[in-house]
Structure 1
């Protein structure tokens, strides 16, 4: 059988996932369109809407507020044998990033409210983590992964910009970094950019359709997101994303 034969026999979602894994290895970053993400997750519109309701239970990020940014979030950690092995929630700890990653929070142990029980139990979260695990194993194959889960909501009013990444251009000090758009309301801006270590742009995109997924090899890239503003200044702008990182456990 020719090389094209087995690929042609695979489901379209599997072929697109193969493309994402190959792009991570060759380019260092990849944007998965919302339709592909939905096909890979095999979820309905109702499941997606229910998943998005968890973002209404986030808490103020006091560390971002010190920089004048209105950002809501929660945080939790999982141990995961990717892509299909056991997955368990780990005890809550402070969030710490390596010294050579995020310059804004060097030597800062940040404490955030934990993920809610309903969010942890949502089958959609488990499906997302397994999809990301399939991407992470293109970059490395440790015995287990430490998976850090951050649901974020960026908020902007007419008199102030929303800063999705007040730290600016940075890396997270992990292997795989991902950003999944969950919802976006009354917002302009919020352009995601990924650069290589020399500062050359690799990917520039605005996550505008819920389900769009940005993947990056954090070991050799840097990333940032531009400010958001309200389209209608009489109402606030919201940008809801799920940021998940994978590092060897």
Structure 2
């Protein structure tokens, strides 16, 4: 077996294992150390750098300092299992007040994700990972609408960062992929998954591309505040909203 074939086999095995975990537990953690090896260092560096060009989120409340961009893609699975992606028109992001009472159903218009970022092979590769994992739960689904959020949460010595100002919640999607892009000068930011009748599962995404995929209809989730460690603390995330079309 060639090196390339072996790598593909191991990747398929990892995706299968993660998919089984999502199907059984309604969430699964993906190690960034493994995902990082699926992209070149140069590609990762280029993609991560786009978080330095986000715009201030003026609609977040409670003194939270957050920067973000938002975009959408249509995802289609071909007969060979490969995924193709088509940009969708930019529009406001809206969640029902039932799911996120904090914004009372307000349509929030964020700066768009740049066209070149939407086409970036690291972005589409991470989405393809999420969709491959989700396929264990909805194997017949072949078309999805994908919402993308580039988010940077800042913490200062005087004010903690707040990744989820809405608290414990559902977002109103079928599935969500959560990918750590980077964190510097901060502690905290613990991800908490709540399942009915089971003690909460707690984990902290610390390494770049450490990830979490959740069945948003079946669990609730939150992230604890981040605390600045001396200088301004930064926590960068890519959130991938996945909804069957």
So what's the TM-score if we normalise by structure 2? Answer: 0.90
Aligned match of 1:57:
53
The 5-angstrom pairing of residues 146-185 of structure 1 reads 146-185=145-184
- Cα distance between partner residues in 2 of 1:44 and 1:9: 14
CA distance in 2, matches of 1:70, 1:9: 41
Secondary structure of 2:127's match?
A: helix
Kindly tell me the number of residue pairs found equivalent between the two proteins: 236
Out of 27, 34, 48, the residue aligned to residue 36 of structure 1 is: 34
Partner of 2:3: none
Aligned twin of 2:193 = 194
RMSD of aligned alpha carbons: 1.8
1:77 alignment counterpart: 72
SS where residue 49 of structure 1 aligns?
helix
C-alpha distance in 2 between matches for 1:203 and 1:17: 21
Partner of 1:4: none
Runs (5+) with no aligned partner, structure 2: 1-5
Does the residue aligned with 2:51 lie in a helix, a strand or coil?
Answer: helix
Query: How far is the alpha carbon of 1:103 from its aligned partner?
Result: 2.3
- Mean CA deviation greater in 98-107 or 237-246: 98-107
Q: Post-superposition shift, 1:78? A: 0.8
Give the alignment partner of residue 227 of structure 1, picking from 225, 228, 232: 225
Between the aligned partners of 1:102 and 1:200, the Cα distance in structure 2 is: 23
| Counterpart Cα distance in 2 of 1:69 and 1:34 | 27
For 1:25, the equivalent position in structure 2 comes to 23
The verdict on how the C-alpha distance between 1:238 and 1:15 changes in structure 2, with shifts beyond 3 A counting, is same
Query: How far, CA to CA, are the matches of 1:200 and 1:112 in structure 2?
Result: 36
State the TM-score, normalized to the length of structure 1. Answer: 0.89
* Deviations 1:95-130, CA, capped at 9 Å, x for gaps: 112343222123211110100123123111111111
Cα distance in 2 between the residues matched to 1:9 and 1:144? 27
Relative to structure 1, is the Cα distance of residues 31 and 151 closer, same or farther in structure 2, using a 3 angstrom cutoff?
Answer: same
Aligned equivalents of 1:23, 1:219: Cα separation in 2: 16
Match of 2:41 among 40, 45, 52: 45
Unaligned ranges ≥5, structure 1? 1-7
Q: Deviations over 1:145-190 (max 9, x none)?
A: 0100001001000000100111111111111111101111111000
- More deviation in 78-87 or 202-211? 78-87
How big is each residue's C-alpha offset from its partner over 1:14-59, in whole Å with a ceiling of 9 and x where there is no partner? Answer: 21211110111110111111122224xx212222111110001111
1:238 is matched with which residue?
234
**SS class of match (2:66):** strand
Query: Matched residues in 1 for 2:145 and 2:96: separation?
Result: 14
Structure 1 residue ranges (4+ consecutive) displaced by more than 6 angstroms after TM superposition: none
Counterpart of 1:92 in structure 2 is 90
Distance in 1 (CA, whole Å) between partners of 2:177 and 2:198 is: 19
